[in-house]
Structure 1
Amino acid sequence: MKCICLILILFQTELIAQISPGPRSISMGSAGVALKGVWSLQHNSAGIAEIRRPIFALGYQRHFSDQDLSTQKAVFAIPFKQHVFGLSIHRYGLSEYSDQTTGIAYTRNFSGALALSIMINYHQLSIHKYGESRAVSVDAGMQYRINDKFWIGTHISNPSNSKFHDLLGSTIPLSISVGVSFEFSDKVLLVSDIRKVLTAKIDTKLGLEYRMIKWFAFRGGMSANPFKQYAGFGIQYHRFALDVAISSHPNLGYSPNLAFSYEF
């Protein structure tokens, strides 16, 4: 399995699938452009605009039952009046391949109805026997409240088309995403995204969250390109939160994902 995963990684020309937005979003089909919370730093940083206290979160994902291929991630957000600053660290890979992204975000909340954000990312890519390369990219995001139940969001990643040089032709994808979230009630939340990577087909994502009781939620979702299924749950106790997700790949199997957060 390790060899198969390494071959698949090395023969990609774009690093499309490595950014993992946190278990809540993952369990809902990886849809999250219009979601809120600290894990929005790895999906659409406009989603941190309503954070009121400093919050820190750690996550881990193991890919396709392979002990070596994994993702480690950490996010931190701190609010100041109508401004929120965020830090995101994301590492994906195994011993022969490592892809790390560190991002610093600034988000502004405009009267609770509009949030705008910008994020600067520093990428480090290392491939055994091929060397290392670095690059800088910029993301921008927006969320807008239509009414108390309905939000829309947009996100553009790497519009300047930054890329790595002299390392197997690897590039950082230019992508545009549009998403919505709709609260049917205080128990049911529906989210959906459409994402277009410049050189790939459009991917459609759909997810549902059912808050069974105040501190416990079930989640499920799917995505179309390729067809994948997702499930998970979340537990919140005072300032602690635990989120668990599992995603499927049609050929490689399942990937469990775990994260916890603490609000100061």
Structure 2
Amino acid sequence: MIKFYTTLIFTLFSCTVFAQNLNGPRIQAMANAGVAMQDIWTLKNNAAGITSIENTAFAIAYENRFSVKELSTKSAAVVIPLKKYSLGASFQSYGSPVYQELKSGLSLAKAFGENFSTALTLNYHQLSIQNYGNTSTFSFQVGFQYQVFKNFWVAAHAANPNKSQYTETESNTLPALYQIGASYTFTDKLLVTSEIEQVVDGKLDFKTGLEYKIAPFLALRGGTSVNTFQQFGGFGILYQKINLDFAISSHPILGYSPQIALGYAF
């Protein structure tokens, strides 16, 4: 049974590069096109987006990827606004005791006026494979967001441009990822976001999504990605300072991945 799960996890992992990165259900519901968005979960996507958070915020999330328990992901994020900077921290656990990845990140973001922000993130990765031991490595991310005019943002982000790899498994190099994108808020009810994502030595993908607030406390979301073609959907509920978000994605071969998150702003 252990051998079966090991084979299954390695097979799915090789088919879903960066799939275990949890962007939070709000961003996932919009096809993970979050590089130009402002949200606590942009800590995973482009930490420059956390500079818009005015109060300390905390969120936790869980994803049951492809409805396989052994591929579940648990994640937490916290953002603390300081005088001139915003500090963010995140933690993520992916997999099972047979094959497990842990990722911790520390982000420092700074806003230059109201139109430009940038951020640097340092990540610590740990890989554990049953009967094979543990290994670890570091990577970094850098990104920016720029408000071209009111309600229209453009952004760019690079993750692991130096192609860090695990010290004991040289063939398991962390992918290098580049993203550019934009978001536009048409009204106080409608947000549209899009991005182009390139994994080095991998595929080029285009993703787009939208969020529509049917009430001040309720938002509906949807999106699609081109390569691989996937569909996304979800909703968000805001009650006072509490956020409840849900998303689900559909892979044409591997099936559905539901995700839920709970957040609180102090």
Length-normalised TM-score, structure 1:
0.95
Q: CA deviation at 1:245?
A: 0.1
Partner of residue 167, structure 1: 169
Question: Which of 110, 113, 119 matches 1:111?
Answer: 113
AA aligned opposite 1:69: L
CA distance in 1, matches of 2:206, 2:16: 19
**Conserved 8 A contact 1:141-1:156:** yes
AA aligned opposite 1:152: V
Alpha-carbon spacing, 1:232–1:112, altered in 2? closer, same or farther (3 Å): same
More moved, 227-236 vs 66-75: 66-75
Q: How does 1:60-71 map to 2 (within 5 A)?
A: 60-71=62-73
Q: How does 1:1-264 map to 2 (within 5 A)?
A: 2=5, 5-9=8-12, 12=14, 15-167=17-169, 169-264=171-266
Q: CA deviation at 1:20?
A: 1.4
Q: CA deviation at 1:182?
A: 0.6
RMSD: 1.7
**Conserved 8 A contact 2:121-2:140:** yes
**SS class of match (2:142):** strand
CA distance in 2, matches of 1:160, 1:14: 21
The alignment-based identity, stated in percent, is: 39
**SS class of match (2:8):** helix
Alpha-carbon spacing, 1:138–1:37, altered in 2? closer, same or farther (3 Å): same
CA distance in 2, matches of 1:67, 1:194: 30
**Conserved 8 A contact 2:6-2:99:** no
AA aligned opposite 2:223: G
CA distance in 1, matches of 2:92, 2:166: 17
Which sections of structure 1, spanning at least 5 residues, go unmatched?
Answer: none
**SS class of match (1:68):** helix
**Conserved 8 A contact 2:9-2:70:** no
Alpha-carbon spacing, 1:130–1:94, altered in 2? closer, same or farther (3 Å): same
**Conserved 8 A contact 1:157-1:176:** yes
Q: CA deviation at 1:14?
A: 8.7
**Conserved 8 A contact 2:103-2:125:** yes
Q: CA deviation at 1:51?
A: 1.0
**SS class of match (2:135):** strand
Alpha-carbon spacing, 1:169–1:207, altered in 2? closer, same or farther (3 Å): same
Number of positions where the alignment pairs a residue of Structure 1 with one of Structure 2? 263
